[in-house]
Amino acid sequence: MSILVTGARGAVARTLTGLLTARGTPFRLGSRERGTPGAVHCDLSDPATFRTALAGVRSVFLYAEASAAEAFVQEAVTAGVEHVVLLSSSSVLGPEPAGSPLSAGHLAVEQALLASPLRTTLLRPGSFASNALGWSWALKSGRPVHLPHPDSHCDPVHEADIAEAALAVLTDPAPAGGAHTLTGPQSLTFATQLEIIGRVLGRPVPFAAVTAEEWKAEVADYIPGPYADALLDFWAAGDGVPVPVTDAVERLTGHPARSFETWIRDHAGAFGG
């Protein structure tokens, strides 16, 4: 049984393909970039690339790209695909997800899959631990990290845990199907995450509280305004409010979710460590 793994450049896909290789499980890597070594061209926004990528495939690990989701589903059905594992987001569980830039795309792909005859497994991670990479430039330059809501909570989850959860549902029919909300083992504030980074790196990691307007101005070149507003609203709602954590990683993988500290140790080089 061949598995198509989309999103070749993504950390989860890269980790998942390593796990599949180690198991000797056949797979095909899909990339939106033409000429990616070892990958078939599969641009999830371009239906013309779907047929070749899906030929002979029975299972798909799918990144959430809404623009051509219905076309992808139709082509998957035609190709005889039996099971799709979607990398979605727990943001779809929030209020009015269809109207939020954080969740609308994920929700649209979920709905397209669930309306189809394809067996669908939804993996809904909360906050990726890798979001901390957004602080790396400030840490390496010695500047304080600017936080509009230092005491806002999130549930950072390691990409290796997401990949192992995907491996479990792709290779074992027992846990396949349904929806799984994946979180790290702890609800942590941004300030606490920076304390953990400092402890791992062995040096203080200062931060400065800034206003929402100041933060938006700083990130305007790479975070579109509506998305920045949605993030600010999300962080404001979580200010001082712990995020519920789940045992989904342990149920699917057989081991507890990796800690944020483990993620930092695994990626210390990105922070100058």
Q: Determine the pLDDT at residue 100.
A: 94
| pTM of the predicted structure, to 2 decimals | 0.96
Q: Determine the pLDDT at residue 270.
A: 95
Dist CA 244 CA 185 (whole Å):
10
Residue 99 has φ and ψ, to the nearest 5°, of -100, 5
Dist CA 211 CA 201 (whole Å):
28
- pLDDT tens across 220-259, in order? 999 999 999 999 999 999 999 999 999 999 999 999 999 9
Topology of domain 2-125, CATH: Rossmann fold (3.40.50)
Question: Given this chain, do its domains 2-125 and 126-158+183-244+256-273 carry the same CATH topology?
Answer: yes
Q: Determine the pLDDT at residue 1.
A: 52
Dist CA 55 CA 2 (whole Å):
9
Residue 55: partners with Cβ closer than 8 Å, 6 or more residues away:
79
Residue 62 has φ and ψ, to the nearest 5°, of -115, 125
Q: Determine the pLDDT at residue 272.
A: 85
Dist CA 57 CA 214 (whole Å):
48
Mean pLDDT computed over every residue of the chain: 96
Q: Determine the pLDDT at residue 8.
A: 92
Q: Determine the pLDDT at residue 176.
A: 87
Q: Determine the pLDDT at residue 125.
A: 98
Put residue 96 in one of left, alpha, beta given phi > 0 → left and psi -120 to 50 → alpha. left
Q: Determine the pLDDT at residue 173.
A: 86
Locus of tokens 């491996």: 167
Which CATH number applies to 126-158+183-244+256-273: 3.30.479.30, 3.40.1110.10, 3.40.1190.20, 3.40.50.720? 3.40.50.720
Rg from Cα positions in the chain = 19
Along the 273 residues of the chain, how does pLDDT read in single tens digits? 599 999 999 999 999 999 999 999 999 999 999 989 999 999 999 999 999 999 999 999 999 999 999 999 999 999 999 999 999 999 999 999 999 999 999 999 999 999 999 999 999 999 999 999 999 999 999 899 999 999 999 999 999 999 999 999 999 988 889 999 999 999 999 999 999 999 999 999 999 999 999 999 999 999 999 999 999 999 999 999 999 999 999 999 999 999 999 999 999 999 987
Q: Determine the pLDDT at residue 48.
A: 98
- pLDDT tens across 38-74, in order? 999 999 999 999 999 999 999 999 999 999 999 999 9
Q: Give the DSSP letter string of 19-76.
A: HHHHHT--EEEEESSTT-TTEEE--TT-GGGHHHHHTTEEEEEEE---TTHHHHHHHH
Question: What are the residue ranges spanned by the domains of the chain?
Answer: 2-125, 126-158+183-244+256-273
